[in-house]
Structure 1
């Protein structure tokens, strides 16, 4: 890797355009993602979030503009980009016939890595799936499948990971578990580009948030910077009420987490 690749942004996008016949999906998208950060691309369904991810992961070619991932051009250095990234789509890409451990071993073997069994066991432990390692994935809950899917995407230690709406369809407990995993990825130095339509998800996770609307980035900044776009609210004394998340965790607690990890179906 060159010095420019190490020092520059993990992702650089400028003037990205994409149309499907007469439908203009991207109309000149610009943004950068710093290394080791979590960047949330926020937008409604149909805003173009998945299209951006597909272009950055070399699954789709842009009509115009430039994009680089880990210092490699997505158009001319696609093979180098693919070696640097991992992509987790909206639906878990796991083999339901195999066990959780077998899924991980298979991916490690496909990547020609040494000691696939140890790699699988380490990831099972990291993602709290050891107790369910020998079970077929068809018996896993939605949250367990998503954790396994993300674990599979980390095999080979990619420097950049794309998470395309990773918590869609998950229950509240599973969403919180995925959020914790995403935070840990960034803490270990992985760059995360997260697409979501959930405002609370972007607020909980992202170092920077870009709002994609009608094919353009209309605002891009930290949560603090985005809040400064609106005038301060009138301050009144109001007794703080517990949030729904507080209530949920207080009722379910660790028992709910153990249930989701070990026996939930």
Structure 2
């Protein structure tokens, strides 16, 4: 709903919008740390939602996108638009105390759908072939699979990998790239699972440090479970080391 903004809302929205543009510029000129600086933009818009509401955050995002488009071109505009929508989504859901499961699920599905549409629009308006884009993804994926094969060989499972696992993996990857229309969206969902989780975890921790009352992620149940798993794994490693050193009689 359109309304007149107060002076403090205009000042805070403009300041955070400028900071978002600065982080996007740093991510553009420093490709090695682009992911690190991109997370800050999610935090900026989430904090703006929690402090001043969705309307002020939306206006700030529009200003940031406009400045980024003028100063850095359409590439920065697209990335900042994604970061802005993602930050506003996190801010709104955390403000309404959404549970972690629905929040992450909706974030992953919506993010994958957005990327899928952007890929289709990119191939439509730029004239790039979708097969060229997929081939650029297939090469590092093949290198990743080869790395798994080398690790299996080092561990002594090279023949097992080559005979029982690699044929199925290679066939599945080939089928996936051949039928990319059906597999691209699920693949994007799988890729976004750790990315969305990491962004939500960092954003959640940051806004809680600022004093906002949001549901903590991960919660106490996850912490207790992770501590229990870590304790059992450490106990198992210590016992194995003691058995190898002969400090404990084996059964």
Q: Normalised by the size of structure 1, how large is the TM-score? A: 0.29
Q: Larger C-alpha radius of gyration, 1 or 2?
A: 2
Whose strand proportion is higher, 1 or 2?
1
Higher relative contact order (CA 8 A, sep 6+): 1
